[in-house]
Structure 1
Amino acid sequence: MISTIILWNFARVGKEKLCELLNNKSQTANQCMDNIRKLKEMMKIMKYEAPTEFGKLAETISEWFAAIIRM
């Protein structure tokens, strides 16, 4: 039961942070670099420490990474 609550909380908070990073349109180059680092760290967490669904999401984001950086 507790692990389910922890996973649900991770999913909610992770999704919110990910959306914030991807939706931030007005930022400087330095802010973009910082956000890229944050995005990479989130992808590592999703891929290696989270349930299978997050691993799949991390793989998809990894495939899109070059396009995300160009934005």
Structure 2
Amino acid sequence: MDQLTHAQLLSVLLPLVVIELALKLSAIVACVRSERTRGPKWLCLLVILFVSTFGPIAFFLFGRKPA
């Protein structure tokens, strides 16, 4: 099996890291701006920050209360 060079590995990982950061940032902004969440905001922010990709996705799916 061929080993990936650093450039190949970077070309694969860099877009994933950028997507991850954009998802986290948009979830943090949405949480801070929302008036109501399902649970304390500080807990939502902790989940967004520390639960990898699934934290922001979980916030968007379950954390926000409808207006």
Which of 1 and 2 has higher RCO (CA within 8 Å, sep 6+)?
2
Normalised by the size of structure 1, how large is the TM-score?
A: 0.47
More helix by share: 1
Q: Considering only CA atoms, is the larger Rg found in Structure 1 or Structure 2?
A: 2
